[in-house]
Structure 1
Amino acid sequence: MDIDVYYLVMRPSRYGRTRRVPRERRSTSVPEPRHGEPAHFIVCGASQLARLVARSLTDTGASVILLTPASGSESDSDSDISSGVEVVVSDELDERAFRTAGLLRACGVALLHDEDMTNVQAALCVQEVAPASRLVLSMSDLTLARTLGLRMTQVEAFSATAIAVPAFVAAALGTESPSYFRYRGRTLFVTRRSEVPASNVVCGVADVRDPQRHRLLPPVERDADVVLAEAVGGEPGTERAARRIRRPPSRSVAAARMLRTLTGRKINLAAAGAVALTALLGVLLARTQPDRTAWQAIYLTVITTVTGGELDASSAPNVQIMQVALTLTGLALIPLITAAIVQHRRHPSPTRRVHHVVIVGVGELGSQVLRRLRDMRVHVLAVDRNAEALGVLSAPDTQIPAITADATRKSVLQSASVHQCHALLALTGCERTNVHVSMLGRAMRSDLPVVLRIIDGHITTRARRSFDVGTALGVPQLAAPSFTASLLGLTVVATIPIGSLVLLAVEYVVRRGIFPDAETIAGLTRMGIRVLGVATSLYDEFIWSPGPQRELTDGCRILAVGIPGDLFAVLRAEGQQT
């Protein structure tokens, strides 16, 4: 694989501020590629997301420059970089670096560094040089992303983690992704065909009956058992799945769970033993005085245990012995009960949980998955070795039990009751750790549903050759299509994860004459794109589920669902004919 690498020695501007560009040197319009020339894009970042976006852009026939710092130029994941990508190494995202990368002729710039403020500073620099450039940013802070969208033109900001969360939640619940979006007055969501009336189905999206091979947008629409439907009441599949998990246990299960809670710690066992001894001595003491009622016997036992009772030297020796034993038991019982209550409040026992979801790694991704499951009222338990992790810090406020320990130790997973949980999610930032945790979980229970987060996928691929490590999902793989589509000028309405695959719902403006075989909706369907609705212009009435023979006039807007590769292929063909 041949990759051209250019090294630039950059001198940072004074005080780290972006140099101001003279007005006459600024570009005020988005450049259009010349006839026969490929569109040009700049992708900034050293993450796998940046490499995947760059590769997707080159697959459309575009010219791409990957602007990356020196620390990320020698990544071991170079297989994710297409041979058509030029890599420019620069530690500073300033005017000189962008001009070297061809900013003035770029149709779009993607800023995909891990730090939000690095992307914001680079965006300000780009808009200084080329105010009309199309910018796509990766942002973790959604509030900051919304602020940028309001203050800056031609800017789209996405959170890769937020895009990927629904896929992880769906995998944890064992159902379809909880994807919702609203468009032109209708709310659409993903569900099983069997769970909604046929009149509510808008489009079939996937055939997932074979768990080993999901088919997206099958040629025969009725073969799809996962559909996009209009929300007109009823309960989505994810809510039903969550309700099954949080179903209250039977009385026998609840009683057994309470017994395990009482006997789960040594201090609880000692307190239970002291209570049992007190009850036994109370019964024996009551038998020595048959003239007393049951209530009087209980009253005498409690008072004797707590205060020692009244001294009576004339009573029988056996009565005196039992009173002394009750008094001594009371001296131990009160501190034991107090200590058990305090320990339970400070460290709630996770062993009492059954059919819960265990999340190992509650950083940015894990904490969002945790909050989504908690909002569905699913019982969740968090495990993280870092006491400063987002999910661990918020655990006291959300009343979610958390274990601060290394989950690669079997004893930690046992304390989290992994053998009784509904699903195990390994979402740490280390793929080796995630594979290790998933293998331990499967060793404890062979049929345990496991979802692990992959980083580059190399370790997981090797592990799968010998072990069943569960469902593997990656944040960059799920989010990259949305960033690529936005760079190419598509309006991304929604991202629809289907397992580890992704569909995009996009708004597209038709250019008549570009596709001789796709001047009707049936033509686009043959190209693998499903048209959900069409409007002749932005303000005209939107027609849902139009007929296959409806003509697509120049400038009409369509809402379409497609596999990212098919959507990008349409844009590639358009670019070759313009």
Structure 2
Amino acid sequence: MIVCGDDALAERLAAELRDLYRSQVTIVVPAAGAAAEPEPAVTGRLRAAALLGRVQAAMNRAAPAADDSLPGQAPRVMEAPVLDEDALLEAGVLRADALALVHDDDETNIRAALAARRLNPRLRLVIRLYDRRLGQHLAQLLDQAAVLAQPGLDPDALDTSTTVLSDADTAAPALAATAVAGTSKVVQADGLLLRAVERHPPGRGEVADPGICTLALLSSTTSDPAGAEGSDASGRDGPLLLPDDRTVAASTGRGTVVLDTVTPAGPVPPPRRLSGRALPFGSLFSRRLRWSLAGLVICVLGLALATWATTENHPLRAGYLTLLDLFAIDDPAIGEPAARQILQLLTGLAGLLLLPVLLAAVLEALGTFRTASALRRPPRGLSGHVVLLGLGKVGTRVLARLHELGIPVVCVEENPDARGIPLARRLRVPTVLGDVRDEGVLEATKVHRAHALLALTSHDTTNLEAVLYARSVKADLRVSLRLYDDAFATAVYRTLRSAHPRALTRSRSVTSLAAPAFAGAMMGRRVLGAVPVERRVLLFAAFDVAGQPQLEGRTVAESFRPGAWRVLAIDSTAPHERRPDLTAAPEEERTGAAPTGLVWRLHPGYVLRPTDRVVVAATRQGLAELLGHRPGTRDAARH
């Protein structure tokens, strides 16, 4: 396995491959001189050694407690000034089973993927891309290139695949769930959409809806400020993945994550664009101006009715005379009855009031058009909202998720050119530009009236400083920090819990949530997606029953191993008509015109046959065993 990258995701991914799958790993890192911001004090050799040390530390953190087997071979770390064909050849791409390109730069990953596919058409590629639509087109292109490079082989028999993943998409549902309970998580793999929903414990006399099946039991301390959560290590009170029915029935008072619906995934709707034609009336004129204009209209109508009632004119002529008086273009009512003279004076006064209102409307409309692309400021009476710190890749996805859930959000971002600024502008989300550590920035977000604070910047110390200051403003504020180092996260959690025992504190690591999905994808095209459950990850994969001793010849109930894997669905399509990849759905299935062929509500006594293909939910350890890499054995079978 080859991992190209030098950030936290590369470290966690290498640890995952080595620890769970017992794979030989080569890590390719940029040379010190190739970085965008050179570090003259750190040479390339020291940089590689530092990365190797961090990988070893990540392995120690991720190692299962019950695993007493010998550790896998230590990763090989090499430097490459440019990730070109020569660097890939030196890393062993011709002999490799899979290549993961997890650089933070999409262009670097795309260039390396094209080069790697030319060098080794059989290579499994896992690419980290933020742009979803570009990722879909790139995966189709690279898979087509792999088939054309091997004309004599059946495409269905190829173990070649291209998987495009985003760490931000994987972690966003879990991060959003820390701000509000009861959120849903979606696994979308082009032609397949699985929706996992968090549900509160049923009250007295209520019956819990298990959905299709129960995927996980949430921590017993999910809503308890004094709970044991706080790091990426799972405690005894942590979440239970894939529990059996008896455990679910006995675990009263704990929330659940259930598989709710499975539907064909429709086409991705185009993003809404803010244009002058789409601007609503309310965004052009303020509420005070609208009320003033409405009052004048009512006043003019009243004067027109009074003119009609006091004269013998036709209603239309009465209205016409009122408008003439309003715009001061009618003759003075000299010699007319007193009522007519009084009404003319009142109408003239209304006309004087109308002029500044019209002028204000014009100026405000022009100003609105000029600032239509500007960021909104938090409203004065805002309360019960979520304060989101950081609009990078992760923060942008979390903002989109919270907006879909209808949760009011106020964002804080230091960089005016950050990735999430255009999204915040398009969604009209209030945003404060400034350093969160500066005085007055958090106060501008109305944090004293907020429901929760999500600190998602890429700097642990910045997140901690913001949380400490927010807690000094509102002691019971619900906070969630994005922290990488597990020991640091534990220390932060314990300190905050001691200082604020009644406030809920949670920590999340984006890389720990995303690394299992990347590692599973490197083992083959069978991984469909991942669902984060608190600090752990549940993977969805497709397997052919043939050659799987844990599945073949067993009933659905017998194949279920609590805490490891569970068969969710069976592909009812005939073997000769199946697609090699469940994620490559035809157009008619994406639009819902044709069924997917998957049967989800299975009879427990159904015997799995060698010709069956099943969809399985598995933990990290369970997936490793199903793929033939058992953490408890010294020499795992090579995939």
Asked if Structure 1 and Structure 2 have the same fold, meaning a TM-score greater than 0.5 normalized by the shorter chain, the answer is yes
> 1:126 — aligned with what?
116
Q: Which amino acid aligns with 2:636?
A: Q
- Which residue pairs with 1:200 in the alignment? 211
Q: Contact conserved, 2:394 with 2:456, CA < 8 A, in 1? A: yes
Once the two structures are TM-superposed, the CA of residue 341 in structure 1 deviates from its matched residue by 11
Q: 2:129 aligns with which of 131, 134, 139?
A: 139
Matches within 5 A, 1:83-482: 84-153=74-143, 154-181=161-188, 188-192=195-199, 194=202, 198=209, 200-211=211-222, 212=227, 213-219=238-244, 220-222=247-249, 223=251, 225-231=255-261, 348-457=377-486, 459-468=488-497, 470-482=505-517
Match of 1:399, SS state, is: coil
CA deviation profile, 1:342-371 (whole Å, cap 9, x unmatched): 999977453321111211111222222222
| Residue 97 of structure 1, CA deviation | 2.6
Alignment partner, residue 612 of structure 2: 556
The worse-fitting range, judged by mean Cα deviation, of 540-549 and 78-87 is 540-549
Check whether the contact 1:455–1:474 (CA below 8 A) recurs between aligned residues.
yes
Question: What SS does the aligned partner of 1:390 have?
Answer: coil
Q: Report Cα offsets for 1:536-572 as digits up to 9, x if no partner.
A: 7655864434344544333532211121122113321
Q: Distance in 2 between matches of 1:101 and 1:182?
A: 30
How much has 1:88 moved relative to structure 2? 1.8
Q: Which has the higher helix share?
A: 1
Deviation string 1:273-300 (CA, Å, 9 cap, x unpaired) is xxxxxxxxxxxxxxxxxxxx9xx9xx99
SS in 1 for 2:463: helix
C-alpha separation in 2, matches of 1:513 and 1:163: 28
Deviations along 1:218-276, one digit per CA (max 9) or x if unpaired, are: 3424347413233399xxxxxxxxxxxxxxxxxxxxxxxxxxx99xxxxxxxxxxxxxx
Say if 2:513 and 2:532, in contact at 8 Å, map to a contact too.
yes
- Distance in 1 separating the partners of 2:94 and 2:440: 58
Q: Per chain length, whose mean CA-contact separation is higher, i.e. which structure has more relative contact order (CA < 8 Å, sep 6+)?
A: 2
Asked whether the equivalents of residues 172 and 451 of structure 1 are also in contact (C-alpha less than 8 Å), the reply is yes
Per-residue deviation at 1:520? Answer: 4.4
Kept in 2: contact 1:382–1:391 (CA 8 A): no
- Gap change, CA 1:406 and 1:227, over 3 Å in 2: closer
Partner of 2:312: none
CA contact (8 A) 1:176 1:498 kept: no
Contact preservation (8 Å) 2:516, 2:620: yes
Structure 2 counterpart of 1:52, which letter? R
Is the Cα–Cα contact under 8 Å of residues 513 and 519 in structure 1 kept in the other structure?
A: no
Whole-Å separation in 1 of the counterparts to 2:563 and 2:418:
46
CA deviation profile, 1:23-76 (whole Å, cap 9, x unmatched): xxxxxxxxxxxxxxxxxx111110111111111111221111111123352347
**1:6-29 CA distance string (max 9 Å, x none):** xxxxxxxxxxxxxxxxxxxxxxxx
**Cα pair distance change 1:492/1:388, threshold 3 Å:** same
Equivalent residues of 2:218, 2:534 under 8 A apart: no
Aligned residue for 2:529?
A: 494
Cα RMSD of the aligned pairs, angstroms, is: 4.1
User: Does the 8 Å contact 1:204/1:226 carry over to 2?
Assistant: yes
Partner of 2:592: none
Counterparts in 2 of 1:423 and 1:527: CA distance versus 1, 3 Å: closer
**Structure 2: 5+ residue stretches without partners:** 33-46, 61-72, 144-160, 228-237, 264-286, 289-338, 498-503, 579-596
- Picking from 563, 570, 592, the partner of 1:534 is 570
| Contact kept in structure 1, 2:4 and 2:10, CA below 8 Å | yes
SS at match of 2:82: coil
**Which position in structure 2 is the counterpart of 1:510?**
545
| Alpha-carbon distance change, 513 to 408 in structure 1, aligned in 2, over 3 angstroms | closer
How big is each residue's C-alpha offset from its partner over 1:310-355, in whole Å with a ceiling of 9 and x where there is no partner? xxxxxxxxxxxxxxxxxxxxx9x99999999999997745332111
**Corresponding position of 2:24:** 63
Mean CA deviation greater in 362-371 or 527-536: 527-536
* Deviating 4+ runs (over 6 angstroms): 182-186, 333-347
TM superposition shift of 1:383: 1.2
In the superposition, the TM-score normalised over structure 1's length comes to 0.69
Give the equivalent residue in structure 2 for 1:289.
none
Q: Matched residue of 1:532: which SS?
A: strand
Shift of 1:459: 3.9
Higher mean displacement: 63-72 or 149-158? 63-72
Aligned amino acid, residue 64 of structure 1? V
Distance 1:150 1:517 in 2: 32
Given that 1:145 and 1:157 are in contact with CA atoms closer than 8 Å, whether structure 2 keeps it comes out as: yes
Contact 2:517–2:539 (CA under 8 A) maintained in structure 1: yes
1:568 equivalenced with 2:633 (yes/no)? no
Q: Is the 8 A contact 1:435 1:460 kept in 2?
A: no
Displacement of 1:516 after TM fit? 9.3
Partners of 1:231 and 1:554 in 2: CA distance: 27
1:428, distance to aligned residue in structure 2 (A):
1.2
Aligned-partner Cα distance in 1 for 2:477–2:368: 28
- In the alignment, the residues of structure 2 paired with residue 395 and residue 544 of structure 1 have an alpha-carbon distance, to the nearest angstrom, of 38
CA distance in 2: counterparts of 1:113 and 1:186, whole angstroms: 27
1:43 aligns with 2:3: yes
Secondary structure in structure 2 of the residue aligned to 1:350: coil
Q: Partner of 1:365: helix, strand, or coil? A: helix
Residue pair 1:359, 1:425 contacting (<8 A) in 2 also: yes
How far is the alpha carbon of 1:182 from its aligned partner? Answer: 7.8
Tell me which amino acid in the other structure corresponds to 1:492.
Answer: V
Does the aligned pair in 2 maintain the 1:186–1:230 contact within 8 Å?
no
Q: Is the 8 A contact 1:45 1:112 kept in 2?
A: yes
- Measure the CA separation in 2 of the matches of 1:343 and 1:446: 40
Distance change in 2, residues 1:178/1:416 (3 Å): same
What's the CA shift string for 1:441-498, capped at 9, x where partnerless?
1221122111222234454333234224822112211111111111111522232111
What is the number of residues matched between the two proteins? 459
Q: Indicate if the aligned counterparts of 2:542 and 2:614 stay in contact, CA closer than 8 A.
A: yes
